[in-house]
Amino acid sequence: MNFLLTLLSALFLSLISYPLVKKLAYKTDALSYPTKDRHIHTRPIPLLGGISIVCGLAGAVVLNYLFNEQFVADMKLIGLLSGLSIIVIMGIIDDIFELKPIYKGLAQVVAALLVIFLSGTTISSFTNPFNTSEIINLPIVVGILLTLIWIVALTNAFNFIDGLDGLAAGIGAISALTLLAVSLVRPDAYLVGTYSGIIVAALAGACLGFLPFNFNPAKIFMGETGSAFIGFTLAVISIQGTFKSFTAISLFIPLFAFGLPIIDVLLAIMRRIKNKKPIYIGDKEHIHHKLLHLGLGHKQAVISLYVASILMGIVSIILSASGMKYIWLLLIVFVLILIASILFLYLPRKEKELLDIVETEGTVENE
């Protein structure tokens, strides 16, 4: 199976699983009931939609295992699936019973450690930004710690942006397609193999198959099951294969590929530290909330963030194809855009900000 067939099969499996997943959500009372302080939808919406994304990816992987001779179930895949099993179980339990943040965090750490020690997946080296031909090797302990932080942080980053209908699913698909493109256009693409490409193609298809039911007005939410699954998969794959090359792990490429979730989670952490609030306590100050406060409609805000994510993905692809040739120019542009965005979205304004946006659909379901 090639990448396109993998994407289409995952899309189809995700699409057809929706009715069963919806029934399961109602049967288990896994519903998001609107509350004034966190939500902007007005009626209960079923959760567990992330199971559709899981079905799409898992089904496409099984099909590749059966019919694609180039796709081998080695320890990288075993490690990834082992970690994802914990993430999915944790997500389903949280969507039904609402776990405390400490338990979700512990589950994510255990899942990440499983990947690290079963498959040997670690950030062991990276490119020297001042000399792109030089590789900086990390001590084993530092590599493991950095890998753990990266996986847990990106897993939660997708949870943080899962605040508007279709946002996390769309950004997940864009990020996955970016990783697929990076693995195909880079100078040493012939060394990459098909493993990483197959996984991200399957994830992109699964997210796209779920999107018609999740886009505003949403019929179902992905819940913790979906957002954590997307973030965890992308975090692991970005280490396991997509960015392995003659320049080893370039920390700048995933910075752009996952630019929007990374920026949002960094701003959230800084904001909560400044306000002396626990990092895990949700608020309505994320980038997507700010766009609503500025007067954009629900769909306008989501599409605007899609465009921003696509542009950052293109930068990541350019970086990979050019062998880091334009890293400093692109990094400067990225920093300037980040500063401008913070000034525009977060500085106090003279005019009074709009009160809570009243929407008939949409949610801040996890955050």
pLDDT of residue 106: 96
pLDDT of residue 185: 80
Q: Please, what is the Cα angle at 28 between 24 and 32, to 5 degrees? A: 95
Residue-wise DSSP of 228-245: HHHHHHHHHHIIIIIT-S
Q: What does the pLDDT read at residue 265? A: 80
- Count of beta carbons in the 10 Å neighbourhood of residue 75: 12
Residues forming beta bridges with residue 46, ordered by sequence position: 31
- Which residues of the chain fall below pLDDT 70? 1, 35-42, 127-133, 187-193, 242-252, 280-283, 285, 289, 323-327, 341-367
How much is the pLDDT for 144? 95
274 belongs to a structural domain: yes
- In degrees and rounded to multiples of 5, residue 277 shows phi and psi of -120, 150
Taking CA atoms, 139 is separated from 70, 118, 254, in Å, by 33, 19, 21
Residue carrying structure tokens 């930004």: 129
Q: Rounded to whole angstroms, how far apart are CA atoms 12 and 1?
A: 15
In a domain, 185, yes or no: yes
pLDDT digits (tens, 9 = 90+) for 271-287: 777 777 777 666 676 77
Task: Spell out a b/e string for 256-294, using b for 16 or more CB atoms within 10 Å of the CB, else e.
Answer: bbbbbbbbbbebbeeebeeeeeeeeebebbbbbbbbbbe
Q: In this structure, is residue 38 part of a structural domain?
A: yes
Range of the structural domain that residue 249 is part of: 3-346
Confirm if 99 and 91 have CB atoms less than 8 A apart.
no
> Does 187 map to a domain?
yes
Report how many domains make up the chain: 1
367 is a domain residue = no
Q: Which of 294, 268, 361, 304 is nearest to 39 (CA)?
A: 361
pLDDT (0 to 100) of residue 304 = 86
Q: Is residue 88 part of a domain?
A: yes
Q: Would residue 155 count as lying in a domain?
A: yes
Q: Is residue 365 included in any domain, yes or no?
A: no
